[in-house]
Structure 1
Amino acid sequence: MKRSVSAHLTLNLHADADLIFSIAVAKGVDATETFTITSEGAELEAHEIAGRHGTRLHRLTGPPGRMTIDYSAEVIGSADPAPVDELDLIEYRRPSRYCESDTLFSTARSEFAGVRGKDLLDAVSSWVGAHLSYVPGASQPTDGAVATMLARQGVCRDYAHLVVAILRALDVPARLVSVYAPGLSPMDFHAVAEAYIEDAWHVVDATTLAPRGSLLRIATGQDASETAFLSQHWAQVDLLSINVTAVVDSLPTDDLAQLTQLR
């Protein structure tokens, strides 16, 4: 499998800002890539920080003015399945900022009593997909799983947060993954859930907007607070434009009857 991805961002910095980007593909794949940051015509260099689960962060202090960020990667083949760590299996069953599994405990137990394993992943994915409407711009950056369930609408990260929160309420370790998603329309960064059953991590995407077999991992964490494509501190930063591309040499058919690992 050959996947080609890119991200182009244009920012306006009101003053010196501490910027952290999470747009590079995660470690573990054979990738040829470029990463260029330019501010008012001058090229800047970010330093790379290793995050959890292969996440790669790029950090720099940006000066005031217009900044462009261009990232591209060509990935050949697939990564090994995500490794399993005992601490992860503890941590990813806990409530988090955007995945309030403790608040949704009663709902989860009522809706999915007695369902286990793959049947549970299928049931939760179908339930979330049926209860939510995909509406770009409908949710706020501060909305978590509870707000999403009440509003009954959102975007990919909202779907993923609700899936993760429900699974955690049922004692299934679950986490959020930001990905490049060949086949996604409209094209953008995408977010999916990853759940631990049958001794491995498996993708759950209640939006069903892109085939799971083509997804390419960027960042992995408790929720969107750990997987955001851009974090800024010290100053106001305006996102003027964003353009994401993701293509694969042969778009796979997604057999929803099968468990799928993020590779």
Structure 2
Amino acid sequence: MKLTASAKLVYNFTGPTEVIGLIQASHSGDQTILSEELILSPDAALVEDEDVRGDRRFRTCLSTETSIVYTATVDNGMRSLLPRSGRQHLWNELPPEALAYLLPSRFCPSDSFQRFAQREFGSAGDGVSRVMSILEWIAAEVDYVAGVSTPESSAAHTFTVRAGVCRDFTHLGITFCRALSIPARAVSAYSLDVQPPDFHAVMEVYLENAWWLVDPTRLAPIEGIIRIAHGRDAADTAFLTTDKACTVVSQTVQVSRVDTAS
């Protein structure tokens, strides 16, 4: 599927502020960037980096009201969906890069949920069955409600209030998977059909020798997702990180399907 994504972030920086931006589409194996453009107004010097995973960041210093506009057209080809069945790996079978995603992290205290996860999902079957059982539980037990969580809310908070937004659903899904020894990581994304349009948070699980994208909110089709970055949780994938406080003036995100009809 070919998709066009755009983000326009207008922020007010009241003095020289160091900024790390994480809004560019990732150079990952399951998507191809056909075209893209990043514009800052007023213009500012940028340092752009790409890590070994293909995730891309820009660094700059901003000191006044600034518009950051990113647009991209991306081809996801035929993205693979989570299979109907799949084996969960033993720890000694996992690739080294997956091991960090077994561990608790800032927003995903999986060590506190091992007993619950084993009791609730441990007998579901193979690895895919366990993940599907987790997704079914979240869909049945957690309401999608804005305003009940903050950027500091962890999966433990979501488990208690049984409500949240995409990052909360994702943190809870990751927490349950890690509690079952299934590697799981957060993915920030542009996503088709998300209402209201915004940056979206989904997750990946490692089963059957591969990472598989899943959306705990069930709001976005997997083939309609454009990856931005992945990490342990939202702390690793924030779209804007600053060393001083700043003010949001406006923020718009849009994703649409490219019409390929001739």
TM-score after normalising by structure 1: 0.88
Q: Shift of the alpha carbon at 1:197?
A: 0.8
Contact 2:154 2:168 in 1 (8 A): yes
Contact 1:129 1:159 in 2 (8 A): no
2:109 to 100, 109, 113: 100
CA distance in 2, matches of 1:77, 1:212: 10
Partner of 1:222: 232
1:152 to 151, 162, 166: 162
Q: Identity of aligned pairs, percent?
A: 34
Partner of 1:24: 24
Q: Shift of the alpha carbon at 1:204?
A: 2.0
CA distance in 1, matches of 2:226, 2:106: 25
Q: Shift of the alpha carbon at 1:79?
A: 8.7
SS at match of 1:75: strand
SS at match of 1:202: strand
1:240 to 242, 249, 254: 249
Contact 1:52 1:220 in 2 (8 A): no
Contact 1:37 1:45 in 2 (8 A): no
Partner of 1:257: none
Partner of 1:201: 211
Q: Shift of the alpha carbon at 1:128?
A: 1.1
CA distance in 2, matches of 1:147, 1:96: 14
1:231 to 225, 241, 257: 241
CA distance in 2, matches of 1:168, 1:242: 33
1:109 aligns with 2:102: no
Which structure 2 residue ranges, 5 or more long, are not aligned?
Answer: 81-92
CA distance in 2, matches of 1:227, 1:52: 15
Q: Shift of the alpha carbon at 1:137?
A: 2.1
Partner of 2:95: 86
Contact 2:25 2:33 in 1 (8 A): no
CA distance in 2, matches of 1:118, 1:189: 27
CA distance in 2, matches of 1:117, 1:145: 21
Deviation track 1:30-88 (CA, whole Å, cap 9, x = no partner) reads 331110111xxx3113211123521101110112x21110000012343987xx98222
Q: Aligned pair count?
A: 243
Partner of 1:258: none
Greater mean alpha carbon deviation, residues 215-224 or residues 67-76: 67-76
1:68 aligns with 2:67: yes
Please tell me the residue identity of whatever aligns with 1:55.
D
CA distance in 2, matches of 1:101, 1:134: 21
Contact 1:5 1:73 in 2 (8 A): yes
Contact 1:15 1:236 in 2 (8 A): no
TM-score after normalising by structure 2: 0.88
Greater mean alpha carbon deviation, residues 85-94 or residues 13-22: 85-94
CA distance in 2, matches of 1:15, 1:245: 29
Contact 1:23 1:71 in 2 (8 A): yes
Contact 2:48 2:56 in 1 (8 A): yes
Q: Shift of the alpha carbon at 1:238?
A: 1.0
Matches within 5 A, 1:184-195: 184-195=194-205
Measured at CA, do residues 160 and 239 of structure 1 come closer, stay the same or move farther in structure 2, by a change above 3 Å?
A: same
Partner of 1:182: 192
CA distance in 2, matches of 1:92, 1:240: 35
CA distance in 2, matches of 1:76, 1:236: 36
Deviation track 1:113-139 (CA, whole Å, cap 9, x = no partner) reads 222221111110111121111111221
CA distance in 1, matches of 2:49, 2:140: 39
